Amino acid sequence: MTSQEIRKQFLNFFASKKHEIVQSAPLVNKNDPSLMFVNAGMNPFKEFFLGQKDPVSTRITDTQKCLRVSGKHNDLEEVGMDTYHHTMFEMLGNWSFGDYFKEEAITWAWELLTEVFKIDKENLYVTVFEGDKDDRLEFDQEAHDFWLKHIPADRILKGNKKDNFWEMGAQGPCGPCSEIHVDIRSEEEKKKVAGKDLVNMDHPLVIEIWNLVFMEFNRRANGSLEKLPQKHVDTGMGFERLCMVIQKVQSNYDTDVFTPIIREIETITNNSYGKNEKTDIAIRVIADHVRAVAFAIADGQLPSNNGAGYVIRRILRRAIRYGFTFLNKKEPFIYQLADVLESQMGENFPEIKAQKDLIHNVIKEEEHSFLRTLDQGLLLLDNIVSNSKSDKISGKKAFELYDTYGFPKDLTSLILREKGMEFDELEFEEEMAKQKSRSRAAAAVDTDDWHILIDDKEQEFIGYDYLEAAIKISRYRKVSSKKDGDMYQLVFNMTPFYPEGGGQVGDKGYLELNNGNVIYILDTKKENNLILHYAKSLPEDPSEKFKAVVDSEFRSRTMSNHTATHLLHQALRTILGTHVEQKGSLVNPKYLRFDFSHFSKLSAEEVTSIEQFVNARIQENIGLVENRQVPLEEAKKSGAIMLFGEKYGDAVRTINFGQSTELCGGTHVKNTADIWHFKIMSESAIASGIRRIEAITNDAARDYYFDQDEIVGKIKSALKNPSDLLKSITSLQEDNNKLKKEIEQLNKLKAASFKDDLIKNKKEINDINFISAILDTDAGSMKNIAFEIGNEVENLFFIGGSKLNGKALLTVYISKNIVESKGLNAGTIIRELGKHIQGGGGGQAFFATAGGKNPEGLQQALTAAEKIVAG
């Protein structure tokens, strides 16, 4: 059975049990500030388990893309070392929200595994929760008895709280679970050791494949448990492991989930899988990581230096360095695997097919960039080695290479071993621990339990129509962090405050208290379907009625920028082409940022055309046409633009300004004239095939033009108020160019005088005319001196050093005849000499230059050059 068939059989089985099949949520978690990525199948359903939203159906089944690389589920460094850990994986699941419970979940799991997938019953073991004294929880007799109907008692094992009590986190819904394990060892191995003795012992061939979680409790902040209003079922089965069992192989990487990728890696790198352990690990790392990176990019998360983008960059760089170190790939190649992913997974995950070109371009550019970083790291490591007085270098230095320059620890270790050296591993790990401790402390958040004042499952957002309202606080809790100190999260029964989302920042404002005082709302976010208002304090009596007021100026400026992004999107697709797709945005009161797919830098004419297009729409006074609760299919048919990486409900909101129609939940101006004016401030590349425009509108645009007018006034004043300002500046530029030419002539005369003195002082070493000097001149003049001497002096080795603006410069020129006869190479020599000035360089065999930050090392470099010539 192929992996495609296995996935389909699972979903169809639960569809036959009256489950609704739902699409996988995006890998990147945009609506839960506590998680960067979906790391478990239940993440997209948290709000249902928390009772904060009603599900579309009480029975759901899906295959969910998951990513585990950081935090509690940190699997990254294990991936590739064994045959069953992954970064990105699929979690097959079936869910019951207050519908069926243990009996049905157990019966259907057994039926699917043994009757549909035909897994041998003799190879299966199950675990049930043994109970826990601290939580006053008893043995799960109910689950045990249901299992007894299907499997002998000696194959039903008791599991402790660590293995058989599932928790969402430190707080929240939780409950006992029942795991299904399978023993796929050979018959010979099974006779030696019983499978039940290897369950949950990390044996690679006695593995858990399915976890049935019976959610019936809520963990409070004080650690106590309380019963949930309804009982739920949450199951998760690792798709890759299931394929391994059904396809009767002993490694996830031997299933057809991975073999097409591995074959392509073998072809591209000219390496074979299964012959060398280090090569195998590298191939597994790349095969796994390219899936994670590709799906993240397809879902809208580009590699970057912070947050979720940093995690994706870290995963990709790990793959690149394994290719670099163990597969000897010094050029980009991982991007080529995008084609295999498309053909293998495009049917079930259409985003991979739709975003293939973007995936290809972004990965290729990231590979180029990191390979350059590796080259830089090699140079820095050479400097550390040359300055080391022992064969053991500082762990702090090695950590600095890793932390600041992204140079891998294992590559540092490998290079040092080749030189008979090592670094202080203990010191490195101490520095790593300090950094992790700092990061944890900065990110740590203590969260109290909710204080429920009104049992209101869903609050009403009225911010599209009102900026103030009489409200009641339905719940609140205290949160504390090192960054923000003590804060309170307030939930209202209804709110005019827009929560951060869709690129738009959350509203600010205040609560007007009955005594005339105010409590400022500093930010607004959304978490698990709750709109959270952040404040530094609480009202004395939170149960009273208050007036909630949004900062109208903050909102108005933000709306101008948000509507401008829609008009900008329309302009880009009209002027550049319909290949343009939005890849990210930021909308706040000060400016807007818009990321989009396009293959080249925008010309000045294109930027002007885009500005003119947007401003023309502003001047047309186009009114907002807003439609709420539009069926998704109807919105698609109307041509509304949708964004990849967004999860839409069955009903959506459309925003229309003339010919611009998009699905959007943000706030907008009532008429384009409210924007006043649109001005592009910058256009740049943020990744291969991804451009970024930053622009301003409204008050910010007005202030910009006032500032420009003031600057022009100051320039006029400095130039004595000329009647033609442009002509006056042009005249200044022409005068400046004339002076530059005069300086160049003076430098040539100066160089000529240097040349004669240098030739007089040449040394003859091994039939080579050696000339060295530290001169007060720039790079261009130094080159001229070298070549002029070369025209007059045969068998020349010239090295010149100079100090300019606190930096050091070295120039080496070697006569072509002795390059051949003596085997000297200026490019090779300059790299060695560059170490003395803490820099590097390169060039051709007869001419090369180096720059560095240590002018004090110039004389040492010249002395070293003389030793090279002397042999």
Question: Cα(519)–Cα(476) distance, rounded to whole angstroms?
Answer: 14
Close Cβ partners of 741 (under 8 Å, ≥ 6 residues apart): none
Residue type, 29: N
Close Cβ partners of 675 (under 8 Å, ≥ 6 residues apart): 560, 563, 564, 567, 618, 669, 697, 698
Question: Cα(334)–Cα(706) distance, rounded to whole angstroms?
Answer: 50
C-beta separation of 766 from 823 below 8 A: no
- HSE at residue 132, side-chain half, CA atoms within 13 A, is 16
User: Would you put residue 629 in left (φ > 0), alpha (ψ -120 to 50) or beta?
Assistant: left
C-beta separation of 321 from 121 below 8 A: no
Split the chain (871 residues) into runs of 10 and give each run's mean pLDDT: 96 97 89 79 87 88 90 66 90 97 98 98 97 96 97 97 90 94 96 95 93 95 91 96 96 96 97 95 96 94 86 92 91 96 92 92 92 83 83 91 81 85 93 83 81 83 97 95 91 96 95 93 92 96 96 98 98 95 94 94 97 98 96 90 79 95 96 98 90 97 95 91 91 91 78 82 93 89 90 94 92 92 90 91 90 94 94 78
Question: Cα(240)–Cα(92) distance, rounded to whole angstroms?
Answer: 10
Positive or negative, the CA dihedral 637, 638, 643, 648 is negative
Close Cβ partners of 27 (under 8 Å, ≥ 6 residues apart): 37, 38, 65, 66, 67, 88, 295, 296, 299, 301
- HSE at residue 603, side-chain half, CA atoms within 13 A, is 5
Phi, psi dihedral angles at 517 (to 5 degrees): -80, 170
- What is the predicted pLDDT for the residue at 278? 92
Measured between its terminal Cα atoms, the distance across the chain in Å is 69
| Angle at the Cα of 637 from the Cα atoms of 631 and 638, rounded to 5 degrees | 90
Residue type, 6: I
Q: To which residue do tokens 């006074």 refer?
A: 621
Question: Cα(246)–Cα(394) distance, rounded to whole angstroms?
Answer: 50
| Angle at the Cα of 470 from the Cα atoms of 464 and 472, rounded to 5 degrees | 105
- What is the predicted pLDDT for the residue at 73? 43
- What is the predicted pLDDT for the residue at 781? 85
Query: Which tokens in the block code for residue 44?
Result: 């997209």
Question: Cα(717)–Cα(254) distance, rounded to whole angstroms?
Answer: 76
Pairing between β-strand 523-527 and β-strand 494-495 as defined by DSSP bridges: unpaired
- What is the predicted pLDDT for the residue at 727? 92
Phi, psi dihedral angles at 515 (to 5 degrees): -90, 5
Question: Cα(461)–Cα(471) distance, rounded to whole angstroms?
Answer: 11
DSSP string, 818-846: HHHHH---HHHHHHHHGGGGTEEEEE-SS
Q: Counting every residue, how long is the chain?
A: 871
Question: Cα(845)–Cα(820) distance, rounded to whole angstroms?
Answer: 9
- What is the predicted pLDDT for the residue at 534? 97
Question: Cα(141)–Cα(76) distance, rounded to whole angstroms?
Answer: 37
Q: Of 656, 659, 677, 680, nearest to 668 (Cα)?
A: 656
Question: Cα(493)–Cα(472) distance, rounded to whole angstroms?
Answer: 6
Q: Of 273, 411, 403, nearest to 330 (Cα)?
A: 411
Q: For residue 42, what are the CA distances in angstroms to 212, 567, 741? A: 12, 37, 71
Question: Cα(545)–Cα(477) distance, rounded to whole angstroms?
Answer: 18
- What is the predicted pLDDT for the residue at 238? 95
Pairing between β-strand 156-159 and β-strand 124-129 as defined by DSSP bridges: parallel
User: Would you put residue 274 in left (φ > 0), alpha (ψ -120 to 50) or beta?
Assistant: left
Q: Which helix (H) or strand (E) holds 361?
A: helix 356-387
